C-alpha cells in the first residue's frame, strides 16, 4: 500500500483529500505544517508522495520542498496552490516539486496526478550511455563513480531521452509521457525540469554537453 503524506493547514481541505485518497486504497498521513511534516517523514521512511500546500503557517511549502530535496530525491512532490501566477508554479518546480495542482480541484484530477507520479517513482531501470547508469533500486544516476540523486520526474525524463538513442524527443512527447495526455498545466514544466537535470549532471549547465536543446522542438541526449 502506497503511503502519501498530506501537508495542508486547512483541516477541511486536508480531510477532503484524505477521505478520497483512502477510498482509492492509499495509506494516508496528515500534517498541518512543515514542521509536523518533517517529524512524520522521520518516522515513516517509506512515504512515496507528498501532497504539499504552498501556503502554510511558518515554513512555506516552497521551503519544505527545497529542504526535502536537499536530502531526498526519491519522494514525489505535488504542490497545491490557490495561486494562478505562472511564477509561483515555476518557483515550486525549481524548488523540487514534480507537479502542481491548482485549487479548487476534483478528486479525480488529484488521483490521476498521484497515479501518474507513482509511475515515475516506480519507473523501470534503464541504462544510459557515456558510462552512466540509472540505478533502479536507489533511484539515482551514477556518473564517473559519483552518485547523483534524481527526483522521480528527472529520472523518467533521462530514461526517455536515453531510449531515443541520440534522436531528438519533442517537448510535447516528453510532456505526454511523463505528465500524461490530459495534463492541463504549462508545457514549460518540461524546460524547468531539464534545467534541474543540467545543474546536476553538466560540468557547465549553461553550455551543456549531454542534454542538448533542439531549438523549436525538444531535447536529446548527446552520446
- Looking up residue 185, the CATH number of its domain turns out to be 1.10.10.10
Residues 41 and 94 in one domain: yes
Question: Which residue range(s) make up the domain with 196?
Answer: 127-221
Pair 117, 133 in one domain: no
Asked whether the bond before 104 is cis by omega within 30 degrees of 0, the reply is yes
Last residue within a domain, chosen from 100, 121, 142: 121
* Gyration radius from the chain CA atoms: 17
Q: Are residues 63 and 35 part of one domain?
A: yes
Q: Which of 63, 97, 121 is the last residue of a domain?
A: 121
Chain centroid to Cα 148, Å, comes to 16
Residue whose C-alpha is closest to residue 6's, from 71, 77, 68, 57:
77
Q: Based on the fold, state whether residues 134 and 117 are members of the same structural domain.
A: no
44 and 136 share one domain: no
Q: Cα(98)–Cα(36) distance, rounded to whole angstroms?
A: 21
Whether residue 81 contacts residue 54, with contact meaning beta carbons closer than 8 Å, is answered with yes
Are 15 and 117 in a shared domain?
Answer: yes
| SS3 label, residue 142 | strand
Domain boundary among 68, 102, 121: 121
CATH number for the domain harbouring residue 15: 3.40.50.2300
State whether 60 and 33 are in the same domain. Answer: yes
Starting at the edge strand found earlier in the chain, the sheet holding 218-221 runs 169-170, 218-221, 211-214
Indicate if 95 and 131 belong to the same structural domain: no
pLDDT in tens, 123-132: 544 444 445 6
34-84 pLDDT, tens per residue? 999 999 999 998 899 999 998 899 999 999 999 998 888 889 999 988 766
Q: b/e map of 40-55 (b: 16 or more CB within 10 Å)?
A: bbeeeeebbbbbbbbe
Q: Are residues 102 and 13 in the same domain?
A: yes
> How many domains does the chain contain in total?
2
Taking residues 16-40, what's their average pLDDT? 94
Query: Phi first, then psi: what are they for 73, rounded to 5°?
Result: -100, -10
139-190 pLDDT, tens per residue? 677 776 678 888 888 888 988 888 888 899 999 999 999 988 888 778 889 9
Amino acid at each position: 500500500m502506497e503511503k502519501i503524506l498530506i501537508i495542508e493547514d486547512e483541516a477541511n481541505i486536508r480531510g477532503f483529500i484524505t477521505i478520497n485518497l483512502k477510498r482509492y486504497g492509499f495509506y494516508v498521513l496528515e500534517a498541518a505544517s512543515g514542521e509536523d511534516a518533517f517529524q512524520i517523514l522521520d518516522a515513516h521512511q517509506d512515504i512515496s508522495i507528498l501532497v504539499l500546500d504552498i501556503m502554510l503557517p511558518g515554513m512555506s511549502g516552497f521551503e519544505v520542498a527545497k529542504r526535502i530535496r536537499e536530502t531526498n530525491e526519491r519522494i514525489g512532490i505535488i504542490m497545491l496552490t490557490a495561486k494562478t501566477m505562472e511564477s509561483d508554479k515555476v518557483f515550486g518546480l525549481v524548488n523540487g516539486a514534480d507537479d502542481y495542482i491548482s485549487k479548487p480541484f476534483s478528486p479525480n484530477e488529484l488521483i490521476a496526478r498521484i497515479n501518474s507520479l507513482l509511475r515515475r517513482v516506480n519507473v523501470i531501470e534503464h541504462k544510459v550511455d557515456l558510462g552512466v547508469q540509472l540505478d533502479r533500486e536507489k533511484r539515482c544516476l551514477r556518473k564517473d563513480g559519483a552518485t547523483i540523486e534524481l527526483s522521480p520526474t528527472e529520472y523518467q525524463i533521462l530514461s526517455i531521452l536515453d531510449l531515443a538513442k541520440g534522436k531528438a524527443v519533442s517537448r510535447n512527447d516528453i510532456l505526454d509521457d511523463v505528465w500524461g495526455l490530459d495534463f492541463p498545466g504549462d508545457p514549460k514544466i518540461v524546460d524547468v525540469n531539464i534545467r534541474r537535470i543540467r545543474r546536476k549532471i553538466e560540468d557547465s549547465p549553461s553550455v551543456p554537453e549531454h542534454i542538448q536543446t533542439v531549438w523549436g522542438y525538444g531535447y536529446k541526449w548527446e552520446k
